[in-house]
């Protein structure tokens, strides 16, 4: 494998289709698809122009649920990388890293060298991406505990690392947050000592003022708000309540009880011009929120971080069905002992998680009508249990049963132990970095006069989310590999490179091989 190349500095694409200026990268790109009518398939080409700002602005992230396991782990992890912290465990010395992040620890193929060998580059060397150590981090929490003590309470990071980071984190105290005991488990009330008082309109006004103060005090150009707080129950969607943007704003002003805390944060973020990311499975993006985001052209993304078990499920279901096997039963069992597990022990919040986990195989099922009938679907059961002793070290057990050739059966059983927040933290970071990149991108067809921003719903981030939001009428893609190459092929398009095809024709056709070399 020594012939594989690596580019360790920002690449420059040498093409007439790409222009680099001091401020922008302008890429002319031919997007190819095919239209199907009956049994006739017609190739279609669309000529597009992408414009990406090269300047990466000073960016802040505001975390909702900052004092939880995910928020403290992300904050401590980024700080440790910024300070290049090392720490000792019984295995020896450890060094800070960004493992688990596609933006900081994954490379993408950018071409071939003169020997026809592949050459790879980090994503951040293909297009300008925010360096996470430059992020300004703050947030809200219903607990008043400072981030250093909250990090200790989470019991995620090694003790020696906690000890070294403690002095840097002890003065970080979350702002009061919005709390509604009707939307989360009753067992969370013992943490709720840091609450925004007043009616829902007053709470919304407070959140908006928090965002403005953060930007002004830190000299920040751009803010991203991200929900990493407790899973809420599903909110009721009702005509006149939250079905339109105006009805939603009116319901907030009227102090309607069915307006969830996460919806208040989303509305505050949108009205303040900030991208909003929902990292839990509840239906924060009710129709009124989506319409409000479209009205203000503010980017939103969700739902629910895709970390361990669900990520494996999207891989295995794709592998089995696209190998021609009929996946008939999936049974998933989890037990965990962190505060997320405690909150999910309540049936109303568990139902939100169950929904986000259960839909991740839908698209691969629907794509194969040779195996599955019109209304046929595998049995799919998800169980989550709270076991305090295991803490953040979540156990997941899965059984996949498929019908195979001539009436046979195949069963795959997996046991997965994962440190939940150490998987989630780099995913949260990637969501922030890629969402920020998307705010710097404009696009138009060649024949259009004006550039426009991307659609407010960032379905391009589906790789990182269990239950990805998509624009109305757009198909939901759950296949992990399709989601991953959607991101990297999109980045390739921003610099005028063709999508990755994996055909390697230069190694299969002699005349092409001679020309390429």
Residue 215: φ, ψ to 5° = -65, -45
Give the other-Cβ count within 10 Å of 444's Cβ. Answer: 14
Give the other-Cβ count within 10 Å of 187's Cβ. Answer: 13
- Annotated catalytic residue within 304, 318, 340, 398: 304
Q: What value does the CA radius of gyration of the chain take, rounded to a whole number of Å?
A: 24
- Residue 342 is a catalytic residue: no
Paired residues of 410 in beta bridges: 402
Contacts of 1 (CB under 8 A, 6+ apart): none
How far is Cα 428 from Cα 226, in angstroms, rounded to an integer?
8
How far is Cα 12 from Cα 14, in angstroms, rounded to an integer?
6
- Annotated catalytic residue within 222, 306, 311, 353: 353
- Residue 466 is a catalytic residue: yes
Nearest CA to 234 among 191, 272, 183? 183
Cis preceding-peptide flag for 211 (omega within 30 of 0):
no
How far is Cα 235 from Cα 377, in angstroms, rounded to an integer?
27
Q: Extract the tokens encoding 81.
A: 């990388």
- DSSP characters for 290-325? HHHHHHHT--EEES-B--SHHHHHHHHHHHHHTTT-
Pairing label, strands 59-64, 222-227:
parallel
Contact between 268 and 213 (Cβ < 8 Å): no
Contact between 73 and 158 (Cβ < 8 Å): no
Q: Where are the beta strands (DSSP E) in 210-281?
A: 222-227, 275-278
Contact between 76 and 148 (Cβ < 8 Å): no
- Annotated catalytic residue within 164, 303, 394, 430: 394
- Residue 84 is a catalytic residue: no
How far is Cα 394 from Cα 420, in angstroms, rounded to an integer?
6
Give the HSE-up count for residue 464: Cα atoms under 13 Å, Cβ half-sphere: 27
- Residue 304 is a catalytic residue: yes
**Which residues carry out catalysis?**
304, 353, 394, 466
């Amino acid at each position: 494998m020594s012939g594989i190349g690596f580019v360790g500095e920002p690449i420059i694409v040498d093409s007439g289709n790409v222009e680099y200026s001091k401020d922008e990268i302008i890429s002319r790109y031919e997007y190819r698809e095919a239209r199907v009518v009956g049994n006739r398939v017609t190739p279609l080409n669309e000529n597009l122009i992408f414009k990406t700002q090269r300047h990466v602005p000073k960016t802040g992230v505001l975390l909702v649920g900052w004092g939880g396991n995910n928020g403290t782990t992300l904050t401590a992890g980024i700080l440790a990388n910024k300070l290049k912290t090392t720490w000792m465990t019984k295995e020896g010395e450890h060094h800070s890293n960004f493992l688990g992040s596609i933006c900081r620890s994954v490379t993408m193929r950018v071409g071939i060298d003169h020997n026809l060998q592949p050459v790879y580059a980090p994503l951040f060397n293909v297009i300008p991406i925010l360096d996470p150590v430059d992020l300004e981090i703050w947030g809200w929490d219903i607990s008043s505990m400072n981030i250093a003590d909250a990090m200790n309470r989470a019991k995620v990071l090694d003790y020696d690392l906690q000890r070294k980071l403690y002095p840097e984190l002890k003065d970080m105290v979350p702002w009061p947050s919005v709390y509604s005991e009707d939307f989360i488990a009753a067992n969370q009330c013992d943490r709720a000592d840091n609450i925004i008082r007043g009616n829902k309109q007053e709470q919304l006004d407070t959140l908006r003022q928090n965002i403005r103060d953060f930007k002004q005090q830190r000299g920040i150009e751009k803010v991203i708000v991200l929900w990493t707080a407790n899973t809420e129950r599903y909110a009721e969607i009702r005509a006149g309540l939250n079905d339109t943007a105006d009805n939603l704003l009116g319901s907030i002003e009227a102090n309607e009880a069915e307006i969830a805390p996460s919806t208040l944060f989303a509305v505050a973020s949108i009205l303040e011009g900030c991208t909003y990311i929902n990292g839990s499975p509840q239906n924060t993006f009710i129709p009124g929120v989506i319409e409000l985001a479209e009205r203000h052209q503010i980017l939103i993304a969700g739902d629910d971080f895709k970390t361990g078990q669900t990520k494996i499920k999207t891989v295995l279901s794709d592998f089995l069905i696209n190998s021609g096997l009929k996946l008939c039963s999936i049974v998933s069992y989890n037990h965990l002992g962190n505060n997320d597990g405690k909150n999910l022990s309540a049936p109303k919040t568990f139902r939100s998680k169950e929904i986000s986990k259960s839909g991740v195989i839908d698209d691969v099922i629907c794509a194969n009508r040779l195996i599955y009938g019109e209304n046929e679907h595998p049995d799919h059961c998800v169980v989550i249990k709270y076991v305090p002793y295991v803490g953040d070290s979540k156990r997941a057990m899965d059984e996949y049963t498929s019908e195979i050739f001539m009436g046979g059966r195949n069963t795959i059983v997996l046991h997965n132990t994962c440190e939940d927040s150490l998987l989630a933290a780099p995913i949260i970071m990637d969501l922030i970095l890629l969402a920020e990149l998307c705010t710097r991108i404009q696009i138009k067809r060649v024949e259009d006069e004006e550039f426009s921003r991307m659609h407010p719903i960032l379905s391009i981030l589906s790789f990182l989310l269990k239950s990805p939001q998509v624009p109305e009428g757009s198909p939901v893609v759950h296949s992990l590999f399709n989601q991953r190459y959607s991101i990297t092929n999109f980045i390739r398009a921003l610099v005028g490179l063709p999508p990755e095809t994996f055909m390697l024709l230069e190694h299969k056709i002699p005349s092409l091989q001679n020309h390429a070399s």
